[in-house]
Amino acid sequence: MKITRYVRYTADGKVSYGVLDGEIIRELHGNIFAGAEPTGKTSKLSNVKLLAPCEPLNVAAIGRNYKSHIADRNIAPAPHPPLFWKPASCIIGTDENIVFPEGANNVHYEAEMVVVIGKKAKNVSKADAPGCIFGITAGNDVSERDWQKNDLQWFRAKGSDTFGVLGPAIVQGVNYNDLLVESRLNGEVRQSQRTKDLLFDVDTVISYITQFVTLMPGDVIYTGTPGTTKPMQPGDIIEVEVEGVGTLRNGIARASTIMD
């Protein structure tokens, strides 16, 4: 299958979708989820600012979806995908800062493959799930572990502004059932595992979610993180790479150091 990389970017004050071809972006007119056509205009990747590659209405996420992520905590695999929600307002793209809000002191990275939905999906069977997928991107499900442990819900632990990182591109034509997911903190590999090890595969997850919630074009599903995570600190650089997709790169800052 042909591999196509879609990006969303800003250039000359204009936000556009485009197809990334090497170091060149071929501009598209319209929304990629509703049918976009080439304009004939191109830009160099180095001359634009990449944004989160889509603007989801719904941001679903699956926890505890790799055995390696629950083994050291004596947690048994769940009977169905452990689902939670992140607010769409937390989404940022590559090269933007992940900002720790006041009181956040135990913030971890979580490298994940993220599924992007391509059409309205409700009560989807596992067999029909592949037809609902527009493409795959990389994500960092940033998580404040103390809040995650102590709050009634995870709205601030996993949904604070900038805690949902996506990008750099949405890719079609890759085998989402067997991709390498990796994180690097300040250049040191911290997580590395293939999506074939997911406890609940992508098609199962889509089918499960859509029994309860209608997913819309551009919605995303964070599919879970492997291995053990550790805290990040202001000044760190966190990278998340999904095979065939590219690398998310984000700096870490505290809210008190960011000027309005």
Question: What is the structure's pLDDT at 72?
Answer: 66
On whether both 21 and 136 belong to a single domain, the answer is no
Identify whether residues 10 and 135 lie together within a single domain. no
Q: Which amino acid is at 99?
A: V
Whether 18 contacts 40, CB under 8 Å: no
CB–CB of 164/86 below 8 Å?
yes
Mean pLDDT rounded to a whole number for the chain: 95
Helix residue spans in 90-197 (DSSP H) = 145-150
Q: Residue 14: what residue type?
A: K
**Are residues 152 and 82 both part of a single domain?**
yes
Distance CA 123, CA 3 (A): 28
Question: pLDDT at residue 260 above 60?
Answer: no
What is the pLDDT confidence band of residue 31, given thresholds at 50, 70 and 90?
Answer: very high
Domains contained in the chain, number: 2
Query: Which two structure tokens, joined as six digits, stand for 28?
Result: 């598209």
Task: Give the Cα separation of 138 and 16 in Å (integer).
Answer: 20
Task: Tell me the percentage of the chain whose pLDDT exceeds 90.
Answer: 92
Classify residue 225 as left (phi > 0), alpha (psi -120 to 50) or beta: beta
Residues 102 and 133 grouped into a single domain: yes
| Model confidence pLDDT, tens digit, residues 97-151 | 999 999 999 999 999 999 999 999 999 999 999 999 999 999 999 999 999 999 9
- Judge contact between 35 and 193, C-beta under 8 A: no
Mean pLDDT to the nearest integer, 26-47: 96
Q: Alpha-carbon distance 257 to 248, whole Å? A: 22
Same domain assignment for residues 10 and 111: no
Is residue 156 domain-shared with residue 210, that is, in the same domain? yes
For residues 193 and 97, membership in a common domain is answered with yes
Both 151 and 74 in a single domain?
yes
Q: Please tell me whether the overall predicted TM-score, pTM, comes out greater than 0.85 for this model.
A: yes
Residues 171, 64 share a domain: yes
Q: How far apart are CA 24 and CA 18, in angstroms?
A: 10
Q: What's the pLDDT at 185?
A: 98
pLDDT band at 237 (very low <50, low <70, confident <90, very high): very high
Residue with tokens 């291995």: 227
Same domain membership, residue 110 and residue 73: yes
CATH number at residue 12: 2.30.30.370
What digits encode the pLDDT tens for the residues 204-232? 999 999 999 999 999 999 999 999 999 99
pLDDT given for residue 77 in this prediction: 79
Q: By residue range, what is the domain housing residue 93? A: 59-257
Residue range 16-31: average pLDDT?
97
Q: Residue 230 corresponds to which tokens in the numbers above?
A: 């550790």
The whole-angstrom separation of Cα 84 and Cα 89 is 15
204 phi, psi to nearest 5 deg: -65, -45
Question: Which of residues 67 and 41 earns the better pLDDT score?
Answer: 41
pLDDT at 258: 57
131 lies in the same domain as 10:
no
111 shares a domain with 17:
no
State how far the alpha carbon of 235 is from the alpha carbons of 126, 136, 187, 189, 250, in Å.
43, 29, 13, 17, 10
Helix (H, G, I), strand (E, B) or coil at 98: strand
**CATH of residue 67:** 3.90.850.10
